[in-house]
Amino acid sequence: QQQVKQSPQSLIVQKGGISIINCAYENTAFDYFPWYQQFPGKGPALLIAIRPDVSEKKEGRFTISFNKSAKQFSLHIMDSQPGDSATYFCAALKPGGTASKLTFGTGTRLQVTL
Amino acid sequence: GAGVSQSPSNKVTEKGKDVELRCDPISGHTALYWYRQSLGQGLEFLIYFQGNSAPDKSGLPSDRFSAERTGGSVSTLTIQRTQQEDSAVYLCASSSHGTGRGGYTFGSGTRLTVV
């Protein structure tokens, strides 16, 4: 059972454009939603995260929008640059002791063209 | 160290052989996770260690897979009698909080190829 669904699988955006990646979750117990960025040959790195008590979080060119009622959240990359070309993973975490592990989406490969 | 270190970075093994993958987490991080990343797939949870608690092994795909964490630091993931479907990148991560809310720091992974 895939608890976090991510789309699209791949995305091509022109330099300067807006990249949008969407995720949907099923378990309402999730209370922490991070995004990770992965470059080839490297492990994923935390990019930005949000809690469900806010609808939007912005860090530089990266924004998370969160819709609690729809159980959806998305990553927006403004003014996309070739250096943003990477694979992006959304994730979700539910609280509670030893059960606290991230559930990841399947990833979106972003290519930003010149 | 400054980051999570995994070794080897690449491993090619023959089908049926056993392999050991090593992870050195960030010093002081109490939580350690193993994930598997197959080509075109997301990150599949394998096992999670938190302090002295019993590990969460719910993601291990078969009894050929096992992991241990010695002294609350270094972890070893062992795959016995490797199969071709075990070929993947095995990622280790650590976190300063058992809840994971501080974010995971991943290593660069071990790329395992079973021939």
Q: Give the pLDDT of residue A2.
A: 65
- Min CA distance, A54 vs chain B (Å)? 16
How is chain B split into domains, by residue range?
Answer: 1-7+31-98
HSE on the CB side for B89, CA within 13 Å? 21
Scanning every residue of chain B, which has its alpha carbon at the shortest distance from the alpha carbon of A33? Answer: B101
What's the mean pLDDT in A67-77?
A: 96
Indicate the pLDDT class of residue B101, thresholds 50, 70 and 90.
Answer: low
Q: Give the pLDDT of residue A84.
A: 98
Summarize pLDDT for A9-33 with one digit per residue, the tens. 999 999 999 999 999 999 888 989 9
Q: B108 contacts in A (CB within 8 Å)?
A: 41-43
Summarize pLDDT for B80-94 with one digit per residue, the tens. 999 999 999 999 999
Mean pLDDT of chain B: 91
Summarize pLDDT for A38-66 with one digit per residue, the tens. 999 999 999 999 998 899 999 999 999 99
Mean pLDDT of chain A: 92
Domain total of chain A:
1
Q: B39 contacts in A (CB within 8 Å)?
A: none
B33, B92 contact by CB (below 8 A):
yes
Integer CA distances (angstroms), A111 to A78, A85, A87, B53, in order: 14, 5, 9, 42
Indicate the pLDDT class of residue B2, thresholds 50, 70 and 90.
Answer: confident
- The A-side interface with B (CB below 8 A) comprises 6, 32, 34, 36, 41-46, 49, 89, 93, 95, 97-107
CATH code where residue A63 lies: 2.60.40.10
The rounded distance, in Å, linking the Cα atoms of B26 and B30 is 9
- Class of domain B1-7+31-98 (CATH, top level): mainly beta
Flag if B109 and A43 touch (Cβ within 8 Å): yes
Whether cis (ω within 30° of 0) applies to the bond prior to B55 is no
Which comes out higher in pLDDT, residue B72 or A68? Answer: A68
Q: A46 contacts in B (CB within 8 Å)?
A: 103-105
Look up the domain containing A16 and give its range. 4-113
